[in-house]
Amino acid sequence: MLEQLLNETLTTLNRVVGQRTHPLHARETGRVTHVGGGIARIKGLSSIRSEELVSFPGDVLGVAINLEPHQVGVILLGDSDKLTAGIDVSATGREADTPVGEGLLGRVIDATGHILDRGKPLRFKERRPVERPAPAIIERAPVTVPLETGIKTIDALIPIGRGQRELIVGDRQTGKTSVAVDTIINQRNKDVICVYCAIGQRGTAVARVVNTLRQFQALENTIVVVASDEDPPGLRYITPYAATTMAEYFSEQGKDVLIVYDDLTRHARAYRELSLLLRRPPGREAYPGDIFYLHARLLERSTHLHQRSGGGSLTALPIIETQAQDISAYIPTNLISITDGQIYLSPTLFHKGLLPAIDVGKSISRVGGKTQFPAFRSVSGDLRLSYSQFEELETFARFATRLDEETRATIEHGRRVREVLKQAEHHPLRGSEQMAVLKAANAGLLDHTALDKIGDAETAIQKHVLNELPDLCEQMETGAKLNESQWEQILEVARKAIAGIEEVP
């Protein structure tokens, strides 16, 4: 009985083992010949493709970017201290990719999906390649909807549209990041998803941005993608591409997305470092010749998609740092030619306390003007003209001992317009608040108000207009065009609001 049972058991096991197949997986391996400085050179991976992931011992990944006849140049995405020449590595067969999905909102991560905020495990639907082709021309549509930043100078004089690429340029410590962060804060209730991409920033600077977004309830609608200055140059290089892939996931679903690259100067330096280590020939200012293509293929992915392609938009605000106000340097001129305009922040204005320190004369938006609301457009035309006249007259007035009444009045009016354009950090304004104040300034209602009381007058106008004319405020913010009688209503409320404000003696 026992012998029969054993025979049946053995027969069954033999049959199961015979039926089972063992799939064979081909794996190509190579050997490291050199490692250091964030790159590795490998021999033996003859079938590897460009941008393919390479697996190193210790769960370190690399990306193949130099395909030479006898070796492969790989940029490392992790700590290379424990890697040495002679170790075996293997090709993974997949491109460098990054997680995408709704679960990334409100999180701080790196380009590979590692969690940096000590939160719960990341929930995501899929992984997509970090390098993806930009949408074809046939898939794109004109930029038609404004992206409101909440900053008076930008929304009135340098408007940005959803799907536009607007460069933020200026020297160090002039408020470039503050402009971008304020724009993200202003998207809280506008159904716009934001991605903040920090490239080579100090950990304290990134923590400050994250805390600001959390303080103003803007983090829950934002993905923060970080490659700090302590990370390998390879991680800094792929981070903006990974962040763009995360943003594209939402834009392809028909949503509007804003992405901030802070900043592409450090991205270019990381790529220069990698290129020199990989012995690529340097070009102008030691940057390799393909640096233009590097940023062009990144920013070309930002656009407004046609309805048949989803109808979403991806607006890019790349930040670039200049040296001694030199916007004619190699990287700034590259990005100026790629983007649809630039917002220039002047250190001279910054040191004078004219914040945000946006130089209207050197700033331009080639696309956003068509998206501006009609009510805003009717205000901004006169504002730009009067402000330009004031700046020109103020320069010449320094050399004049006596001025005629008309010139003096123009200068006094311009000074008040300049005061109105000042704005506190992290205090974005509704479109109706901006239009009411700018209309009052254009109409000369503030010309007799003391300069140190302009802020009080502005607050009073905003409060009264919002309380007494809510219907008109809603019309202005939804793109309706106001007639003369409606503008007169706003001016009448503004006059009443500033009636008790101290005037110039």
Distance of CA 351 to the CA centre of its chain: 25
Distance CA 394, CA 389 (A): 8
List CB contacts of 251: < 8 A, sequence separation 6 or more.
Answer: 257, 305, 310, 312, 313, 314
> Which of 489, 107, 176, 132 shows the shortest CA–CA distance to 318?
176
Using N-to-C axis directions, what is the helix angle for 374-397 and 470-477, rounded to 10°? 90
Q: Where are the alpha helices (DSSP H) in 33-190?
A: 152-157, 176-185
* Peptide bond between residue 155 and the one before it cis (omega within 30 degrees of 0): no
- Our separate counts of H helices and E strands in the chain read 15, 16
The answer to whether residues 366 and 341 touch, using CB atoms and an 8 Å cutoff, is yes
Choice among 280, 366, 384, 408 that is catalytic: 366
End-to-end Cα distance, the chain: 119
DSSP 438-505: HHHHHTTTTTTB-GGGHHHHHHHHHHHHHHH-HHHHHHHHTTPPP-HHHHHHHHHHHHHHTTTSPBP-
Tokens of 88: 């075996």
Tokens 């697996």 found at? 55
Could you confirm whether 202 is annotated as catalytic?
A: no
Tokens of 364: 């331009």
The burial of 191, by beta-carbon neighbours within 10 Å (0-12 exposed, 13-18 middle, 19 or more buried), is given as exposed
Distance of CA 500 to the CA centre of its chain: 42
The answer to whether residues 458 and 412 touch, using CB atoms and an 8 Å cutoff, is no
Q: Where in the sequence numbering do the catalytic residues fall?
A: 366
